[in-house]
Every structure is written in structure tokens, then in C-alpha cells.
Amino acid sequence: MSDLILLDDELDEDCYRARLAASLMGVPVLLRAVDVIPGNEQDTLSFRALSPSGHLPALTGATDPADALPAICGAEAILLTFAALSADKAWQPSTPMETGAVAHWMTFASRDLRPAMRLRRKAMFGGDGDDCAWLSATHDAFRIMEDHMVLRRISGHGWFAGEAPTLADIALFPSFALCRDAGTEQDAYPTLRRWMRRVKTLPGFIAMPGIPDYG
């Protein structure tokens, strides 16, 4: 296999998901910065040749020429790819139940946490959108996560699915950890805050601007 190259935007939340996953799973990747702001490089023909919808992050070096896919696009897809590539098999769900729970929370991250990502993007880089609806949808999503983690704590667990950290935790973590960028308070989610600290202590954890790696 050729080198894995992650087409990356340092301040983008989904790109951080992919970098964090690579680091936690010990998958070596080369980063190639895509100039999204202000360059709009994601709209250039050369980038669109790799990622037809202009989606970041994108990963090259992991596809089979036979399937005609130039790159794996999107955080969720890249997380799954890294788990399959990692020498550490603990990142692959071990039971059907765990597979289901991990898939559930990964879907939740890419669908229900979308408003939180949009809110942060708008707070940092401007743009249009209904802050009020996004904020309320963000709190709805965090509340669902908090309710879940309260029950997990009561049953003696510290992670979203399974006994150990999974792709679910990696997929969910950035939106909660970065929500202060958009001025969203974390105080109403004490159980998520403790889980967030737990994630920060994992071997291989890396921060991004907006997430202090201590505390």
C-alpha cells in the first residue's frame, strides 16, 4: 500500500476527527493542508478529482485502483478505514451488539451533531444560517448523549459503546469538546464533561485549536 495522505483543514471539525482517529489508532498518515479559508481549494478541479463533492477530509492511499475510487471521503468513512488498517484490533467492534452501538453513535455524530458543527463554523468563519434552530438542536443532541452516559455511568461504564473507547467516542468527542467555540455552555452536561476528560487522557490523544489538551 502506498502512503496514506489525509487532505486536511486544520480548523475543520471533521478533519480533526480523522487526525484524532489516526493518532489514537497509531495509523501513520501524511497530512496535506487544503486551503479552504480563504482559498476555496476544495472547489478546484484537482481537489474535486479526488473528492467529487468537495468533501473534507479525504484520504488517499487506502483505495484499490480497481474500484475506481480516488479517495475515501468524509470523517465517518475514514474512521472506519483507519480502524480496519490499525494494528490495534481493539478498535474493531468485537460483538454484533457493539457493532450496532458503534454504528448508531457514528450515525448520530454525522446527523444529529451537524447543527453543532454548523454553529461553530458560523461563529468562527461567518456565513448564513439559523443560529437559534442550530443551538436548540445542539442542546437536544447533547441532552441525548448526557442521558445515555448517565445510564452508562450507573452501570459502571465510561464509554459510549462497549468496555473500551470505540469509534463512537472519537466521532462524538469533537463536537462536544469544541462547542465553546460557538459559545455553547457545557455546564449542563456534567457526565459528558467527565467523559471528555477521559478521552483527553487516552494514549495518542491530540488536541486541536479550541481544545486544550489538559484540564
Partner 1 sequence: MQETNGHRVGGWQPLMLALDLPPLTVSGAQIGEQKLAVWRDSHGQVHASDDRCPHRGMRLSLGFVREDMLACLYHGWRFDESGHCRVIPAHPGVTPASTICVPVFPVAECMGLIWSRADGVATGAGPETEWRLPEGGSVTPVRTLTIKASLKTVMARLGATAGQSVRMLVTTGSGAVLPLLIVARPVGHDRTQCHLLLEGTVSQEDCEQAAFWAKDFRNTAERCDTGADYCV
| Positions that interact with partner 1 (CB under 8 A) | 131-132, 135-136, 139, 147, 150-151, 154-156, 180, 185-188, 190-191, 193-194, 197, 212, 214-215
Minimum Å gap between C-beta 182 and partner 1 is 12
Distance between CA atoms of residues 206 and 215, nearest Å: 14
Minimum Å gap between C-beta 82 and partner 1 is 30
- Grid coordinates in use for 45? 478541479
Residues near 116 by Cβ (< 8 Å), separated by ≥ 6? 134, 137, 138, 141, 142, 175, 176, 179, 182, 184
- Grid coordinates in use for 37? 479559508
Closest C-alpha to 79, from 121, 7, 24, 30: 24
Distance between CA atoms of residues 164 and 199, nearest Å: 11
DSSP reduced 3-state for 5: strand
Indicate the residue among 97 and 151 with the shorter CB distance to partner 1.
151
Indicate the residue among 32 and 197 with the shorter CB distance to partner 1.
197
Indicate the residue among 6 and 179 with the shorter CB distance to partner 1.
179
Minimum Å gap between C-beta 154 and partner 1 is 5
Minimum Å gap between C-beta 125 and partner 1 is 21
Minimum Å gap between C-beta 14 and partner 1 is 24
Indicate the residue among 86 and 186 with the shorter CB distance to partner 1.
186
Indicate the residue among 48 and 153 with the shorter CB distance to partner 1.
153
DSSP state of 202: S
Q: How many CA atoms lie within 13 A of 201 on its CB side?
A: 8
